[in-house]
C-alpha cells in the first residue's frame, strides 16, 4: 500500500511539474516586448531626464529585488500583490507622465503593468523596457533598503 501511495504521489508531482506553465521570465530566451500598445518605450537616458524633472517612476518588481536596488524615489507597487488601479491612482494622475520599470529585458512585469495602466486610462505611460539593469549600467544613482535607512 505504501509503495502504491508513493507511486501515485510521484506521478502527480511529475504531472504538476510538466503542466505548470513557466513564467514569462523563466522561459529560455524570453525577451520583453519592444513596445506596449498605448505606451511609449523609453531609454535609460530619457528616464534620467524624467527622473530629474520629478516624474512618477513605478517599480513593479517583487519586494526583495526592490529592496536590493531601485531608482531613488521610485514608488514600489509589486505587480503580483499591490499593483492595481486604485494603488496606481494614489501615486499618479491619468494625464501626467508615468514611468514603469522592472528588472530589464528578461522581465515581463513592466510590459504587463504598462498594458494595465493604459487599459485604466493612463495617457502618458512610459515603458522602461531596460529597467533597473539599463539604469545601473548607465551609471545613474540607485538606492537600496540599506541606503534608505541610513541617518
List residues bridging with 143 in a β-sheet.
Answer: 70
Burial class (CB in 10 A: 0-12, 13-18, 19+), 48: middle
- CATH architecture entry for 25-148: 3-Layer(aba) Sandwich (3.40)
Q: Confidence band (pLDDT; 50, 70, 90) for 85? A: very high
In the prediction, which pLDDT does 3 show?
Answer: 73
Q: Please give the grid coordinates belonging to residue 112.
A: 504587463
pLDDT of 87-103, one tens digit each?
999 999 999 999 999 99
Closest CA relative to residue 60, chosen from 102, 12, 17, 121:
102
Q: Please give the grid coordinates belonging to residue 12.
A: 502527480
Ranges of each domain in the chain: 25-148
pLDDT of 108-137, one tens digit each?
999 999 999 999 999 999 999 999 999 999
Indicate the pTM of the whole model: 0.79
What percent of the chain shows pLDDT beyond 90?
75
What string of DSSP letters covers 50-61? HHHTT-EEEE-S
Amino acid at each position: 500500500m505504501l509503495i502504491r501511495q508513493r507511486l501515485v504521489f510521484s506521478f502527480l508531482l511529475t504531472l504538476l511539474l510538466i503542466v505548470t506553465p513557466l513564467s514569462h521570465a523563466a522561459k529560455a530566451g524570453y525577451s520583453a516586448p519592444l513596445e506596449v500598445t498605448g505606451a511609449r518605450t523609453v531609454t535609460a537616458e530619457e528616464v534620467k531626464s524624467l527622473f530629474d524633472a520629478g516624474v512618477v517612476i513605478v517599480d513593479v518588481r517583487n519586494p526583495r529585488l526592490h529592496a536590493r536596488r531601485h531608482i531613488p524615489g521610485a514608488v514600489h507597487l509589486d505587480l503580483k500583490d499591490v499593483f492595481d488601479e486604485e494603488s496606481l491612482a494614489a501615486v499618479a494622475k491619468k494625464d501626467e507622465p508615468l514611468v514603469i520599470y522592472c528588472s530589464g529585458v528578461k522581465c515581463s512585469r513592466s510590459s504587463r503593468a504598462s498594458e494595465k495602466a493604459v487599459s485604466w486610462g493612463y495617457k502618458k505611460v512610459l515603458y522602461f523596457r531596460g529597467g533597473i539593469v539599463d539604469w545601473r549600467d548607465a551609471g545613474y544613482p540607485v538606492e537600496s533598503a540599506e541606503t534608505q535607512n541610513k541617518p
